[in-house]
Amino acid sequence: MSRQQLIDQIKQKRSFLCVGLDTDINKIPQFLLDYPDPVFEFNKRIIDATKDLCVAYKPNSAFYECMGVKGLQSLVATWEYLPKDILSIIDAKRGDIGNTSDKYAQAFLDEKSSGMSFDAITVTPYMGNDSITPYLKYDGKWIIILALTSSIGSKDFQYLETNEGLLYETVIKKANTWAGADRLMYVVGATKSTEFTAIRQYAPDNFLLVPGVGAQGGSLADVCKYGITKDCGLIVNASRSIIYASNGPDFAEAARAEALSIQQQMEAELEKAGIL
């Protein structure tokens, strides 16, 4: 999906919502366990209930890999079912030396190799340029680099002083020399909304993938106040608050209601910013 296609989706759906498919087989409704692939059945119903309200889906690979072969089969089936006009993000957070990164890229971006070809992948930049460039070989794919996270542990490293500013600022400035805003996004946690002003100095045009709204307590209004751009420039993820809105037979309807509530808030923010 190109940058312009993403912007068009945002305007068309009046939304910049990403639904996180962090599907835990121990948390899904019990009746789904009677299906041949309970995880996929859950994802399928969530997708059907929310696809007109969001612009992205983001399976977290850990929730699938922990189940071995069955989990990977569920992940492949989920990718196959995702609407191809909606941005598909694999939240893998991979980071390794070049030849290993090349195989990680092949695993998630090369359909002929793995049966999956996500539009975007999250990566960690700790090992530098040669851990990121293998993903850039895949034309049209987005690389989403971890910059500033909502986690308590973000203070351990991300705020360390360097010669070029705080470490997360250095990451953004350096990564922007590897590719442009049509290929690179950055992960910035919603609970760090006041830092968005500084981040926009270094990444004025990049889309930011923003987890932490909803169950993690981040404020959508604050994220937009400090981070929205003329093209929106934000993809805000909500996972648990949507997919686990109910644990009963009505889980898909409850997920839709929660997604609709967020979409309506996003529509108001897009109107306020003059994007719609």
Active site residues: 93
Determine contact, residues 184/142, Cβ cutoff 8 Å: yes
DSSP string for residues in 209-271: EE--BSTT-B-HHHHHHHH-BTTB-EEEEE-HHHHTS-SSTTHHHHHHHHHHHHHHHHHHHHH
Distance CA 276, CA 77 (A): 35
Name residues whose C-beta falls within 8 Å of residue 166's C-beta, 6 or more positions apart in sequence. Answer: 158, 159, 160
Cα distances (Å, whole numbers) of residue 38 to 23, 24, 188, 251: 10, 10, 32, 14
Backbone angles phi, psi at 23, to 5 degrees: -85, 115
Determine contact, residues 182/206, Cβ cutoff 8 Å: no
Cα distances (Å, whole numbers) of residue 72 to 19, 31, 37, 121, 165: 19, 22, 11, 16, 40
- Give the DSSP letter of residue 40: H
